[in-house]
Amino acid sequence: MNHFVYKDDNLFCEDVPIANIVEQVGTPFYLYSHATITRHFRVFEGAFNDFDHLTCFSVKSNSNLAILRIFALHGGGADIVSGGELFRALRAGIPPDKIFYSGVGKTPEEMKLALKSNIRMFNVESEQELQTLNKIANNMGCKATIAIRINPEVETNTHPYISTGHSENKFGISLEDALNTYESARQLENIDVKGISCHIGSQLTDIDPFLNALRKLKDILKELKKMAFDITFLNLGGGLGITYDDEKPPHPLEYAMALKKVLGKENITLILEPGRVIIGNAGILITQVLYTKSTKNKNFIIVDAGMNDLIRPTLYNSFHAIQPVKMIHSEMVVADLVGPVCETGDFFVKDRKMPPFKSGDLVAIMSAGAYSFSMASNYNSRPRPAEVMVKEKLFSIIRSRETYDDLIHGEVIPEFL
């Protein structure tokens, strides 16, 4: 069920007219549907009900505390890649034994915080990281439970910036070095090797790359068993895509059935790290038209949100659907939807048919729940937008709009100036 629907020509989020939210919150702002988030999580989680697994939300996709709290309340875990994401996950109530820490550049201080918090597992991505983690665990008088992240050399049909499973990417240990790295880890007194991990990319709409990666992990797992390793966790990461335009990603049940078929009767706990597939279509960005202008070759619709609020079109040339908050019954026009940021790359849409928006009209940029606020910046000294969540007939601001004072928080003009 879609919870962003028109009723009498007005776009609603669940049972709340979006225009009513604008009256109280202003623009721009990110808007999330509680019903959509919970439904997506339940569907994904339910697809693996008959298999030993743990669903860990990818915090990098959207790290708002209220959103993380939903997953905590539904028994989910967290896939984190920084100390800040660990702090957020714990603050939201996600149990530390459901937190898995990935990332190629974990600092010693972040490792200490994670060990002190007693997280479930580190996904180690290099030999030097392994040695550093062992040293820190030794100094703290504890053991670090780890999986080793393998780079499975799997082809994926996605943007190169979000492909993570090739040798030219910075992530993971090569297939050739995997067994030697496991043996090296076993020799370290403060390392407890319990898992095998991989992540092949993001916004994948084909199951085959996941299955290919899983087959390669199973081959390594077979060798590790011969070497008497007790591997109890297999982390397949995230990356399952969503529909932005005309993509046809697999349903989570189809995905789960295919994985279970390849995994067979392996006695292991499967770790899944969905992000975009849960939150991507559960959020939108609401913005208001400031001006329109035309040149000899172009029509421009200028809105008050910018690339610093949603950078995906600029960074990845990504598609986001555009909808009016109040239906416009007029002939479509071909235009660019652009923001106020001082960059030519500040656009949401180029040369696309859309309603003939005019100054004051409200625009919904769809599928903005993932990698929008979490990648937002203050470029051009623009305060970041508010975040709002709707649940049935109620809505709440879950992050206040930044102020100009927020922009300079922590900055100091030294006495010598």
The residue annotated as part of the active site, out of 13, 142, 198, 342, is 342
Which residue has tokens 């959509």? 36
Active site residue 13: no
Residues taking part in catalysis: 342
